[in-house]
Amino acid sequence: MERTIDLKEISDGRLYGPNDMVKADCGDCEGCSACCRGMGTSIVLDPLDIYRMFAGLNVSFEGMIDQVIELNVVDGVILPNLKMDGDEEACVFLDDGGRCRIHAFRPGICRIFPLGRIYENNAFQYFLQVRECKKENRGKVKVKKWIDTPDVKKNEQFITDWHYYLKEQQENVKQAKDQEMIREVSLYVLREFYLRAYHTSEDFYEQFYERLKKSRTGRSTRMKGYIFDFNGTLIFDSAFNEAAWRKLVRDKGGKEISDEAFLKFVHGKSNDIILEYFFGRKFSKDEAERLGEEKEVIYRNMCLAQGENFRMADGAEEMFAKMKQRNIPYAVATSSHRPNVDFYFKTLHLERWFSHENFIYHDGTFPGKPAPDIYLRAAARIQCAPAACVVVEDAPAGILAAQNAGIPEIIGIGEGKEGRELLRREWDIPVIADYRSVDFNENGELLFAD
């Protein structure tokens, strides 16, 4: 954890390098665990700490959250820290005998204690914190032996680069005025350097620097981002949506819905807009939610009745596997509401390709399609400028939303030949039938063929 300090007040006045001798050896902390208690949120973990803990515990980052680590905001950026527990706020890895259960793969801050780091001129040196360790009569030890880390030179370069990268991101947050952008900068650090798993069979530093390079060079300048509508685009469920709306409107309003009305006023639009059109009046938020959910219950039951035939469009799973493997940024922007999104995640096992961060749905906080808001939000989530995005859509409202967001490249998709011809004729865009023929070039650009 970074602090603004006067070294004269807390140290012996000296700065140390890895080959210097320092009075830090506390005799294996025999009979003492004071430095493992009452530390609050100060033991902030870097990506190497998570890599080591994942390898040592065989538990994913998500599995560690709330069990052994916590997430807190540090100068505007969300970062993990070791969790303290109980009345004494003891480290969760402290056993009944006051010994560390993860000593072999303990975090970097724990390794260097009672040393600290001071950063200057894109480098750092160590200093001895004379008032932090309760042990008296500490022995002298070489710094690099004390910190017990393989390849000290490479490790120190990583520590330096990570420190200054975080400073850059924290400054970006400080300067940003758009709340959505502030959120995205913070979440990007968490997603890219912590949530995205490291391969413990591969060198950590190579993986880290690949991610660092990608972050600093800017994905949007090198690679396009892809945003997909969901209903009628990634799942071909139009028949169930239509049947559910027809039943609701017939039962509640005594009306029949024409195919033309469906195309213009249903596909791609949110429930509140659809209800207003078919019933000719505005509904209160509670009324719209109740009627909308009645329709969605009908729809979900129809989907479930299909059994294994309720699935992603042909080729979609293989496409997302390729995109994930090649780190091509992608998101979903759907007019569906949260209950349906939860249903899709559970029924279609969408967690294989998506999190709730890159699956943007209509949560009531922004206008629905054809307003551009959902596509602007999706572009921000994958940190791509709208001008560098490609949208895949099946509905006029969604195509308009993408155009209104300033997204220049739109690809149509349709389950039926007639619908695909209509998209080509009215919108003059390329149209595909499914994703079986999708591939990528060396720049991560999607190649489609009907």
Q: Is 238 exposed, middle or buried (0-12, 13-18, 19+ CB in 10 A)?
A: buried
Q: What is the pLDDT of residue 450?
A: 43
- Residue located via tokens 């027809």: 246
- Residue located via tokens 């090649």: 326
Q: What is the pLDDT of residue 280?
A: 80
DSSP H helical ranges for 42-178: 47-57, 61-64, 108-112, 143-147, 152-175
Residue 429 · residue 410 · CB < 8 Å: yes
Residues of the chain predicted below pLDDT 50? 1, 219-222, 449-450
Q: What is the pLDDT of residue 122?
A: 76
Cβ partners under 8 Å of residue 214, min gap 6: 192, 327
Pairing of strands 389-393, 115-120: unpaired
Q: What are phi and psi of 232, to 5 degrees?
A: 85, -5
Helix H or strand E encompassing 271: helix 271-279
pTM: 0.52
- Return the exposure string of 278-291: e unless at least 16 CB atoms fall within 10 Å of the residue's CB, then b: beeeebeeeebbeb
Q: What is the pLDDT of residue 13?
A: 85
Q: Which of 409, 340, 336 is nearest to 374 (CA)?
A: 336
Residue 78 · residue 190 · CB < 8 Å: yes
Pairing of strands 225-228, 330-333: parallel
Q: Which of 234, 267, 240, 266 is nearest to 392 (CA)?
A: 234
Q: Which of 352, 344, 268 is nearest to 311 (CA)?
A: 344
Residue 383 · residue 329 · CB < 8 Å: yes
For residue 314 the two structure tokens come to 């042909």
**Is residue 37 helix, strand or coil?**
strand
Cβ partners under 8 Å of residue 373, min gap 6: 366, 367
Most distant CA pair in the chain: distance in Å?
A: 89
pLDDT tens track for 309-367:
999 999 999 999 988 888 888 999 999 989 999 999 999 999 999 987 889 998 888 88
Q: What is the pLDDT of residue 17?
A: 92
What sign for the dihedral angle of Cα 415, 417, 418, 420? positive
C-alpha–C-alpha distance, residues 7 and 392, integer Å:
57
Q: What are phi and psi of 116, to 5 degrees?
A: -130, 175
Q: DSSP assignment of 380-438, as one string?
A: HHTT--GGGEEEEESSHHHHHHHHHTT--EEEEE-SSHHHHHHHHHHH---EES-STT-
Q: DSSP assignment of 202-233, as one string?
A: S-HHHHHHHHHHHHHH-HHHHS-EEEE--BTT
Distance set, CA 443 to CA 14, 314, 447 (Å): 50, 24, 11
Q: What is the pLDDT of residue 186?
A: 78
E strands, 277-415, in order: 330-333, 359-360, 389-393, 409-413
